[in-house]
């Protein structure tokens, strides 16, 4: 496992170098495009040496994407994203973020599931409505890693950026809980019990928030007490993230939400006058470097998934249609969410389009799809998920800046 991870980091570094020298795209997009290209080159080896091709395929399938992302990368990426978010600005938009991250995910799940179920039936693919709900749950949350990495250069107004980033940071926790609840029903692990689902949701989300609050204030206090020892402060923040995330998993609460809350609190504490400039610089540089490195690793992993997919025209067709379903559901969800907000907080037409196009999907969705039980249904859902994510990162990611620029000029 260690050798594999070292190899992936080395590949990510090489692809980041190629992107910086030649493609000159945002690093996340460039690395993903290059990793897909490398994967397709390996896939082409089928026509030269089938034994080698099967060895490469078996190796790709042996990579435990879910474990790498959920047990290691996710906590670091969420914390490094949250530590740079303006907590005061986020609190001003807290109602909007809460509605988008809860009501929005639930409504989107049902819209996508229903349309996905009927479209799959029309093209001859057999998938139950419960598993369609599973797909809706895993593809509905916008990915904080993808959003944070791409919004910085898009020129989105500050209040909109906070809405998008805040929603993305919190709705993955909601989406994961919904996903696990629906999956337990689909696999008949539990009888349907609404009270059980709501209690589990409360435990995961509430427990994660409380854990993050405690960790954040513990980290804040410890970091202030070693104000002149910048390296120790950085070490403490890393221990908070890695130890806190593992502890959250042991307690069966949301480590994702815990890391977001802890990151927001610790990040806000760095703006205090008592914090030395040296400590601030060390913290900012350390977490920025980790963010860039592990972002690249994540998108290399997403590219490698290409090798594990067997070509199927019907699965590809469903995936392409799913792109439209996901975008449409996102647009409808934002409009419906507006009815729960004050008029002054509602998104106008242009803002709704921007919020829709900025709702990128990423590695979390793929990891959840890879965690499904083996079988034909998993193949269908994984294929559709991968097509949506690749389109989201590449097409939406490359054009979000132009969309923002064009629509804002109309205001």
pLDDT tens, position by position, 127-150: 999 999 999 999 999 988 777 767
CB-CB contact of 242 with 294 (8 Å): no
CA 87 to chain centre: 20
Q: Is residue 196 pLDDT above 70, yes or no?
A: no
Q: Does the structure show a pLDDT above 70 at 329?
A: yes
pLDDT of residue 410: 54
Q: Kindly state the tokens that stand for 207.
A: 């427990």
Q: Is 340 exposed, middle or buried (0-12, 13-18, 19+ CB in 10 A)?
A: middle
Given this model, what pLDDT does residue 80 score? 92
**What value does the mean pLDDT of the chain take?**
90
Does the pLDDT value for residue 366 go beyond 70? yes
Cβ density class 226-254: b for 16+ within 10 Å, e for less: eeebbebbbebbeebbeebbeebeeeebb
Mean pLDDT of 238-253: 95
Q: What angle do CA 93, 287, 300 make, to 5 degrees?
A: 95
Residue 249 in tokens: 């998993």
Q: Please report the pLDDT score of residue 177 as a whole number.
A: 79
CA torsion sign for 217, 218, 224, 229 is negative
- Give the up-direction half-sphere exposure of residue 174: CA atoms within 13 A in the CB hemisphere: 25
Tell me if 150 sits within 8 A of 125, measured CB to CB.
Answer: no
Residue-wise pLDDT tens digits, 80-121 = 989 988 888 899 999 999 999 999 999 999 999 999 999 999
Domain ranges of the chain: 2-410
Per mean pLDDT, which range of 30-39, 49-58, 196-205 is the poorest? 196-205
pLDDT of residue 181: 81
The pair of structure tokens assigned to 308 is 């594990």
CB atoms within 10 A of CB 206: 13
* 194 has pLDDT over 70: no
Name the pLDDT band for 191 (thresholds 50, 70, 90): low
pTM equals 0.91
Residue with tokens 């806000």: 268
Q: For residue 1, what pLDDT band results from cuts at 50, 70 and 90?
A: low
Look up residue 246 and give its two tokens. Answer: 């593992």
pLDDT band at residue 229 using 50, 70 and 90 as cut-offs: very high
- What's the rounded Cα separation, in Å, for the pair 63 and 46? 20
Contacts of residue 87, Cβ cutoff 8 Å, sequence gap at least 6: 264, 265, 267, 268
Q: What angle (nearest 5°) sits at the alpha carbon of residue 114, between those of residues 65 and 134?
A: 25
- Looking at residues 380-387, what average pLDDT do you find? 96
Q: Hey, what CATH topology would domain 2-410 get?
A: Na+/H+ antiporter like fold (1.20.1530)
The whole-number pLDDT of residue 205 equals 84
Segment 243-263 shows an average pLDDT of 94
Both structure tokens of 258: 């815990």
pLDDT band at 405 (very low <50, low <70, confident <90, very high): confident
Contact call for residues 273 and 224 (beta carbons, < 8 A): no
């Amino acid at each position: 496992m260690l050798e594999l991870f070292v190899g992936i980091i080395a590949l990510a570094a090489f692809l980041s170098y190629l992107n910086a020298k030649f493609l000159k795209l945002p690093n996340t997009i460039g690395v993903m495009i290059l990793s897909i290209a490398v994967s397709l080159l390996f896939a082409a080896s089928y026509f030269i040496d089938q034994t080698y091709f099967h060895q490469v395929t078996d190796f790709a399938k042996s990579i435990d994407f879910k474990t790498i992302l959920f047990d290691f990368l996710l906590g670091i990426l969420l914390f490094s994203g949250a530590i740079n978010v303006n907590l005061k600005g986020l609190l001003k938009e807290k109602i909007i973020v809460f509605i988008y991250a809860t009501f929005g995910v639930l409504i989107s799940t049902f819209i996508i599931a229903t349309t996905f179920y009927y479209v799959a039936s029309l093209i001859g693919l057999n998938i139950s409505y419960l598993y369609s709900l599973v797909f809706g749950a895993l593809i509905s949350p916008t990915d904080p890693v993808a959003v944070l990495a791409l919004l910085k250069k898009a020129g989105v107004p500050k209040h909109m950026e906070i809405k998008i980033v805040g929603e993305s940071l919190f709705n993955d926790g909601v989406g994961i809980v919904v996903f696990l609840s629906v999956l337990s029903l689909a696999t008949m692990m539990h009888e349907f019990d609404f009270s059980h689902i709501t209690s589990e949701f409360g435990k995961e989300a509430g427990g994660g928030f409380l854990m993050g609050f405690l960790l954040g204030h513990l980290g804040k206090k410890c970091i202030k007490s070693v104000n002149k020892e910048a390296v120790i402060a950085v070490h403490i923040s890393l221990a908070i993230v890695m130890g806190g995330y593992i502890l959250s998993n042991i307690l069966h609460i949301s480590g994702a939400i815990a890391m977001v809350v802890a990151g927001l609190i610790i990040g806000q504490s760095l703006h205090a006058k008592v914090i030395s400039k040296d400590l601030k610089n060390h913290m900012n540089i350390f977490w920025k470097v980790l963010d860039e490195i592990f972002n690249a690793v994540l998108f290399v992993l997403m590219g490698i998934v290409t090798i594990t997919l067997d070509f199927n025209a019907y699965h590809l067709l469903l995936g392409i249609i799913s792109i439209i379903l996901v975008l449409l559901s996102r647009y409808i969800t934002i409009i419906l969410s507006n009815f729960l907000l004050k008029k002054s907080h509602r998104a106008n037409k242009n803002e709704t389009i921007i919020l829709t196009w900025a709702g990128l999907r990423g590695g979390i969705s793929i990891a959840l799809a890879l965690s499904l039980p083996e079988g034909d249904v998993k193949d269908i859902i994984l294929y559709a998920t991968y097509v949506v994510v690749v389109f989201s990162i590449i097409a939406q990611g490359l054009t979000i800046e132009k969309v923002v620029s064009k629509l804002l000029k109309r205001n």
